[in-house]
Amino acid sequence: MILLIVFLPFLAAVLSYVAGKESETARDRFAAAATLIELLMTVLLLYWMPSEDIPLVFGSGLHFTADGFRCVYAIVTAFMWAFTTLFCGEYFAHEREGLNRYYFFVLMTLGATEGVMLSADLMTAFIFFEILSFTSFTWVIHERTPDAIRAGYTYLFIAVIGGLVLFMGLALLNETIHTLRFDQLRSAVAASDQHGRILAAGCCILFGFGCKAGMFPVHVWLPKAHPVAPSPGSALLSGILTKVGVYGILMTTLGALADNRSFGLIVLILGVITMALGAVLALFSVNLKRTLACSSMSQIGFILTGIGMYVLLTTAECEEGIVLALSGTMLHMLNHSLIKLTLFMAAGVVVMNLGVLTLDDIRGWGRKKWRLKIAFALGGLGISGVPGFNGYISKTLLHEGIVEGIHTIHSLSGLLHVVEWIFLISGGLTFAYMLKLFIAVFVQEHPTRQAQFDADVNYMNRTSTAVICGSSVLMAVLGQPGIMTRLASFMTGYEEILAFKAFTFANLKGGLISLAIGLAVYLWIVRRVLYKNGSYVNLWPAWLDLENAFYRPLLTRWLPGFFGTIVSVFGENRLLTPLCKGALAVGTFLGRLISIGPDTLVVLSRRTLFRERAAVRADQPSLGRVASFHEQIRQACAPLFGSFSFALMMTCIGVLIILGWVITYI
Amino acid sequence: MSSALILSAIVLPLAGGGLLLASPGQAERNRRKYTMVITCLTTILVWLILLKGTSPAFTLYYFTRGFSVDFHVDGLSMVFAGMVSIMWPLVTLYAFDYMSHASHRNSFFGFFMMTYGITLALAFSASILTLYVFFEMLTLVTIPMVWHYRDHQSMYAARVYAVYLIGGAALGLIAVLLVTLGGGEGIFRYGGSLIGTPDRRLMCLVYFFGFFGFGCKAAVFPFYYWLPTASVAPTPVTALLHAVAVVNSGVFAVTRLTYYSIGPDLLRGSWVQYTAMTLASFGLLFSAVLALRERHFKRRLAYSTVSNLSYMLFGITLMSPDGLVGGVSHMVFHGIIKITLFLCAGAFMHMTGHEYIYEINGVGKRMPVTFGLFTIVSLSLIGVPLGCGFVSKLRLIYAGIGESSGVAVFGILCLIGAAFLSAMYTLTITVRAFFPIRGGDRYPSDGKLHEAGWRMLLPIGVFTAANVLLGMVPGPFMRLLDTIGAGLI
C-alpha cells in the first residue's frame, strides 16, 4: 500500500507528460484525478498502518512505515496536492508555456514527499528528500524571469549544500551507531558512548534538513523563492516542502538526540532567531507573497522552538512539558501547512487577476470580493493565534511548553524567560503583518482604480472557490479543542494531552498578550512608520541581506580570488619553471666552482710545461667547420636545454645521486 | 591458456592499430568495420580472461635479474580491465560520427586502438617495473592524439602533456627502482612486496617520489595543469583517455604502489601519508573552484576530473582497506560519469560548433535527450542518490570517518565543499540549457539544430543506464571491491 502511494505518482508523472503531448485538458484532468486518488489511498492508510520494505536497492534497501504522525502528514500532503492541482486549472489558464513540465515535476514531487513522510529510516528519507529538492526546483524557476532564475539558483545551491551536509551527517551517524532506522536509533544511541560524534552528526543533519525548512542562517532562499514560483507551487513549497525539513529534524531528534542538551539549546536558539527574524522581515515587506513567505519562515521558527523545548524538557525529565512541547510542535506543523495552503492560493487569485503583488498596486482589490475576503480572513485569524481558530491551540501548547521549562529547568530559566518574550512578541508581529495585509487588500481603497476593481466580479471560477473556501473552513474546524487534542494524542501517542484545556485564563493570557502586542505594533509602527503619504514603503535596508552580503561574494569572488592567487603561482608553470631554472643555475654554478681546480691546473700547465711554440692561425678552416658544427648542435639543443622536461630530468638525476648517497651512508 | 589469452588481448589491438597506421586505405566503411571488429574482439578476449577469474603471475620475457615483463590477473586488474573494455567499443562507435569530418583518421583510430592494448597491458602487469614500462608507453602513444588537429593550441597542449607525463614518470622511476631493489622483484602482493624489514624512513621517501611521479598522470595538485590544457584533443580522446584510461592508470599505479608494493602498514601514520592526503584534499577543493571559474565547456569538465581524481587519491592515501574500496569504487564510478559528461559535451560541440558555456542557453529544447542525460549524470557526479557517484562518495566518507585523524576530517570537509562546487559548475549548465532567461534563447526552433546521430547517443544512453543501475543496485559490485579490499583476490 505504501509502495503504491509512493511510486504511483512517479508513474502518473510520466503518463501525464505523455498525455500532455496529446491534449492539455486531458492532462489537467488526469493530474487532478491522480492527486485525488492519492488522497483516497492515504486516507485508507489510517485503517492499516503497515510497514513495507524494498530490499537490496541502495545497499540497505528502502524501508517505509506508517504511524499516527506519518499517516496524518501523508494525508495532509495528498490533501494539499489535490487542492493545489485543482486550483492550477484556473491559475494557469492564460500562461500555458512549460505546463507539461510543471505537471510532470509536481507529480514527481508528490511521490517523493510521500516517500519522505512515510520513511522508516533516515536513508530512505534522505533519498526521497534529494529527489524532491531537485524536482521542486523547477517550480521556482518556472517563470524564467531574471528574478526567478536568480532565486532558482539560490534555491538549488542551498538545496545541494543541504543535501551534502545531511549526507555527511548520515554517514557519520551510521558509522557511529551502525543503524539509521528511526525505531532503533534511541537504543543504539543509548548504547554508544561517543556523544561528541553523535552531536556532530546531529548538527549536520540539523543543517541539512534546516536548509529545506528555512532555518536561520540558511533561510536566504525562502523569501526569494516562494514569491517567484507560481502560486500553487508556492503553497506547496511553503506548506509542505518546508515541513519535509522539519519532519527530518523532528524524527532525528525524537530518535537520536532527545536527551542531548547541547543539541536542544542549538535548535532552540536557531529556532528563536528564525522566528523573530522571519516575523520582522514579514512586517517590513511590501509584497503580498513575500510577506507570506517570510511568515512561513517565522512559523518554522515557532516549530523549531517547540523541538528545542522538547529536547530540553526531555533532559529535565519533565513528562508534562514533553507532552505539551511535542503536541504543540506537531499541531503547529499541521496548522501551518493548512493555513499557508489557503493564504497562498488566495494570493494566487490576486496574481492571476492582476499580475502584480506589491501592496500599493493591489490595494482595495478585495473590498467587494466576499468569498476571497472570508477565506483570507480565516487564514489570517488562524495564523495569528486568535482564540477559537487553529493556530491558537498549537501556539498555546508551545507557549505552555516554554513556561513549563521555566519552572523545571532552573539553570536556564533566565534564557527561557527571554525566549518566552520573543515568542510572544513574534506572535504579536504575526498578528500585525496579517492585519497589514488584510487591511491593505481587503479594506483600504485604491486611490485610482477602485471602481475598476469593484466591477471585476468573475475573479475566480467555481472550482477555485470550492478549493480555497473549503480549505479555509478547516481553520475554524481545527480551532475546536476537542478535535485538536484528539489529533495531538493520535499523532504523538500520549493520552495525557486529551486533558488539556485551551480556554482557561492561564492559557488565554499568553495569546491575548500576543494579540495586544500585535495591535499595538500595527497601530504604532505599521501605520505610523511603514505607511507614508498613502503608500506602503519598504524601510528594510537593501544591503542587510545575508545572501548578497556574504554567501554570493564568498562563492563568486572570495573563494575564486583566493584560489586564483594560488593558481597564478602554481598553475601555468609560474612556480615550477623558475624552480627548475633555479636548480639548474645553482647546479651550473656549483659545477663551475668544482671545475676551478682542474681549470687552474690546465691553465698552469699550459703556461709552464706545454707552452705553445708556434702561433696558431685564427682563421684555420677545419677549426671553423668544427665551430659552425658546434654552433648547429647548440642551436638544435637549445630548446631541449631550456625545456621543463630537461630540468625535471636533471632534477631526477640529482635526486638519484642524493638517494644513492643516502642509501650508502644511512 | 590464460597467459595466451592475456597476451593476445594485449597484442591484438597493438598490432591492429599498427597495421591501420601503416595502411594507405582511406575507405571510411572498411576502416569502421576493421576498427570495430578488432576492438570488439579484444573486449571479448578481456571478458574471457575475466570470467576465468584470477590467475597467478607469469613471466613473458626475462631481461636480467630484477627486470622482467610479468603479467597476472588479480581483483584490481579485473576491475580496471573490465571497466575500460566496456567503454572502448562504445567510445569507438561514438568516434565514428565525431571524427567523420576530421583529417588523418587512419592515424587517429590506429593510435586509439593501440592505446587500448597498452591500457590492458598496464592493467594486467604483475610487477612494478612492467607497470612502469607500459605507463611510459601509454604517454607516448597518446601524444599523437592530443596534437591531432595540428593547430597551434594542440601543439602547445601536446608539449605540455609530454613534459608533465614524461617528467612525472621519471620521478616514478626512482620509486620503481628502489622498490624492485627492496626484494621480491617488485611482484605485486597485497600488503606489500618488500622482503625482510625495510627501512621505513627510506620507504617514506620512495613513496614521496612515487606518489608525485605516478600522481602526475592522476593530475595531483600541483601537477594538474596538463589535463585542462589537453582538452583541445578530439572529444573521444578527452572522454575516454583524459577522463578514464590515462588518468585512471595514474590512480591505478598509485594504488599498486601503495597497497601492493610498499604496503600500507609501513606507511600509515608517516609524514608522507599526511603530505599526500593534505595535498589530495586541498587539490580536490582547489580544482573544483577552478572548474567553477572556467567558461570553456570541456575545460570545465577537465577541471572537474582533476578534482575527482584527487577524491580517489584521498581514498587511496587513507591506507586502509576501506580507503582502497572507496578510491577504487570512485575510480570506476567517476569513469562512467565523466565519460558520459564528456560525450554529451562533445555532442553539443559537434552539433552546434560552439564550445563555451554561455553559448548553451536554450539548447535543451533542441537536444533534450543529450542534456536530459547530462543532467541525470551530473546529479550523480554531485552525489545525489540514485546515481553511482553517491555510493562511492558514501564509501569515501565512511573510510575518512573510520580514520578519525585530523587530516581525514579536513579531507572530508574539502570533499563536501568540492561536491557542492560540482553542483554549481554542472547544474548551471543544465539550467542554462533548459531554463534560459526569457528572450535569452540562442537556438530558435527552426529545426536546423537537432539531436546527434544514434552512434553518439547510444554510448551516452548506455553509460547513463549503467550509472543509474550501479547507483540503485551497487551490492554485487561493491562486494567484489570489498573482497579486493580484504586482500582475498
Per-residue pLDDT tens over the stretch B122-166: 999 999 999 999 999 999 999 999 989 889 999 999 988 998 899
Say what the pLDDT of residue A483 is: 84
Give B63-98 pLDDT, tens digit per residue.
777 778 899 999 999 999 999 999 999 999 999 999
According to DSSP, residue B436 is labeled P
How far apart, in whole angstroms, are the C-alpha atoms of residue A327 and residue A500? 11
Say what the pLDDT of residue B125 is: 93
- Report residues of chain A scoring pLDDT below 70: 59, 570-577, 612-625, 639-643, 665-666
Subunit contact A563:B289, Cβ cutoff 8 A: yes
3-state SS, residue A67: coil
Say if CB A90 and CB A458 are below 8 A apart. Answer: no
Q: For B390-398, what is the mean pLDDT? A: 90
Say what the pLDDT of residue A573 is: 57
Those residues whose C-beta lies under 8 Å from the C-beta of residue A609, and which sit 6 or more positions away, are none
Subunit contact A659:B178, Cβ cutoff 8 A: yes
CB atoms within 10 A of CB A415: 17
Here the cell at position B54 is: 584470477
| A600 near B CB under 8 A | no
Domain boundaries defined on chain A: 2-151+280-287+317-536, 542-663
Q: Pick from A115, A132, A113, A138: which is nearest to A57 by CA?
A: A115
Those residues whose C-beta lies under 8 Å from the C-beta of residue B436, and which sit 6 or more positions away, are A144, B361, B362, B442
Distance of CA A236 to the CA centre of its chain: 14
How far apart, in whole angstroms, are the C-alpha atoms of residue B201 and residue A477? 78
Say what the pLDDT of residue B82 is: 94
Distance of CA B263 to the CA centre of its chain: 23
Say if CB A207 and CB A162 are below 8 A apart. Answer: yes
How far apart, in whole angstroms, are the C-alpha atoms of residue B71 and residue A500? 78
Pick from A57, A141, A644: which is nearest to B472 by CB? Answer: A57
How far apart, in whole angstroms, are the C-alpha atoms of residue A664 and residue A666? 6
Q: For B384-401, what is the mean pLDDT? A: 89
Which of the four pLDDT bands, split at 50, 70 and 90, describes residue B13? very high
How far apart, in whole angstroms, are the C-alpha atoms of residue A586 and residue A50? 78
Q: Which residue is listed with cell 544591503? A: A543
How far apart, in whole angstroms, are the C-alpha atoms of residue B145 and residue A2? 54
Those residues whose C-beta lies under 8 Å from the C-beta of residue B251, and which sit 6 or more positions away, are B218, B309, B312, B313, B316, B327, B331
CA–CA distances in Å: residue A613 to residues A616, A618, B175: 9, 15, 55
Q: For B298-315, what is the mean pLDDT? A: 94
pTM: 0.85
Say what the pLDDT of residue B276 is: 94
Q: Pick from B132, B126, B47, B125: which is nearest to B88 by CA?
A: B47
Here the cell at position A46 is: 489510517
Which of the four pLDDT bands, split at 50, 70 and 90, describes residue B14? very high
Q: Pick from B275, B131, B265: which is nearest to B198 by CA?
A: B265
Say what the pLDDT of residue A186 is: 86
Say what the pLDDT of residue A147 is: 85
Surface of A (160-179) touching B: CB under 8 A: 160-161, 163-165, 167-168, 171-172, 174-175
Q: For B7-32, what is the mean pLDDT? A: 90
Report the share of chain B in percent with pLDDT over 90: 55
3-state SS, residue A478: coil
Residues of B in contact with A567 (CB under 8 A): 290
**Higher per-residue confidence, B205 vs A584:** B205
According to DSSP, residue A461 is labeled -
Say if CB A444 and CB A322 are below 8 A apart. Answer: no
Say what the pLDDT of residue A612 is: 64
Say what the pLDDT of residue B211 is: 94
Q: Which residue is listed with cell 552531536? A: A199
Long-range contacts of A403-406 (CB under 8 A, 24+ apart): A403/A510, A404/A313, A404/A318, A404/A320, A404/A321, A404/A324, A404/A325, A405/A309, A405/A312, A405/A313, A405/A316, A405/A318, A405/A321
Say what the pLDDT of residue A297 is: 92
Report the share of chain A in percent with pLDDT over 90: 16
Distance of CA B35 to the CA centre of its chain: 22
Helix locations, A141-220, DSSP H: 146-177, 182-191, 195-213
Say if CB B347 and CB B370 are below 8 A apart. Answer: yes
| pLDDT surpassing 70 at residue B47 | yes
| pLDDT surpassing 60 at residue B218 | yes
Say what the pLDDT of residue B90 is: 94
- To the nearest whole angstrom, how far is the Cα of B264 from the nearest Cα of chain A? 22
How far apart, in whole angstroms, are the C-alpha atoms of residue A341 and residue B274? 54
Mutant choice from A144, A153, A552 vs B, greatest count of B C-beta within 10 A: A144
Say if CB A189 and CB A256 are below 8 A apart. Answer: yes
Those residues whose C-beta lies under 8 Å from the C-beta of residue B390, and which sit 6 or more positions away, are A167, B380, B383, B384, B471
| A640 near B CB under 8 A | no
Say what the pLDDT of residue A182 is: 86
3-state SS, residue A124: helix
Give A339-363 pLDDT, tens digit per residue.
999 999 988 888 888 888 888 888 8
Residues of A in contact with B289 (CB under 8 A): 559-560, 563
A·B CB contacts under 8 A: 131
Say if CB B231 and CB B238 are below 8 A apart. Answer: yes
Say if CB A507 and CB A404 are below 8 A apart. Answer: no
Those residues whose C-beta lies under 8 Å from the C-beta of residue A431, and which sit 6 or more positions away, are A384, A385, A386, A514, A515, A517, A518, A519, A521, A522
